């Protein structure tokens, strides 16, 4: 049986590994959800999660000083899915930018860390629903052997408080 703590640990591990999320402001402000690359800080088991973007993006303009946001995540192999609610805010902390900067981020900003268009945004997660997905072949064999898929799936979903 999988515990809530194990599902949460699996979520953070998958996010650290795969990093591509879909991010949007709650209530539709800022347009559609858009793909963003998650950057995790020191406390990789709770957040916050950072994203590099540009100051004139629709998301940043609509966000203002703070805005409720939703981050959707699916691991590359579809072993895990998550919907995470939290708060998004601009973050201009130079030490955080230095710590998270890497060649992949640098490729997007001609002026490097001092590029005038650079905007770091911070997502502080508050709650999430996380689903773990078994290999469909394995699940199919178990079902053929008489396993109840609804019962098997009960311990694969977690409602998490992340704040």
Q: Quick check: 135 pLDDT over 90? A: no
Domain total in the chain: 1
pLDDT tens by residue, 136-154? 545 555 556 666 555 555 5
pLDDT tens by residue, 68-107? 999 999 999 899 999 999 999 999 999 999 999 999 999 9
What range defines the domain where residue 109 resides? 4-161
Beta pairing, strands 118-132 & 80-91: antiparallel
> What does the pLDDT read at residue 149?
55
What's 130's domain CATH number? Answer: 2.30.110.10
64-67 own/partner pairs: CB under 8 Å, 24+ apart: 65/89, 65/90, 67/25, 67/26, 67/29, 67/30
Q: Quick check: 133 pLDDT over 70? A: yes
pLDDT tens by residue, 36-57? 999 997 666 678 999 999 999 9
Is the model's pTM score more than 0.75? yes
What does pLDDT average to over the chain? 87
71 within 8 A of 21, measured Cβ to Cβ:
yes
């Amino acid at each position: 049986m999988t515990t809530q703590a194990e599902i949460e640990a699996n979520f953070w591990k998958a996010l650290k590994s795969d990093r591509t999320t879909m991010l949007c402001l709650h209530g539709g402000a800022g347009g559609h959800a858009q793909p963003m690359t998650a950057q995790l800080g020191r406390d990789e088991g709770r957040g916050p999660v950072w994203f590099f973007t540009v100051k004139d993006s629709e998301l940043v303009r609509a966000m203002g000083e703070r805005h409720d946001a939703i981050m959707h995540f699916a691991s590359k192999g579809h072993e895990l899915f998550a919907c995470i609610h939290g708060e998004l805010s601009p973050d201009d902390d130079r030490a955080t930018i230095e710590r998270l900067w890497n060649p992949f981020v640098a490729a997007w900003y001609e002026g490097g860390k001092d590029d005038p268009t650079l905007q770091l945004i911070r997502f502080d997660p508050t709650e999430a629903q996380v689903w773990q997905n078994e290999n469909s072949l394995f699940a199919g064999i178990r079902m053929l052997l008489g396993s109840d898929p609804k019962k098997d799936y009960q311990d694969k979903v977690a409602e998490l408080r992340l704040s």
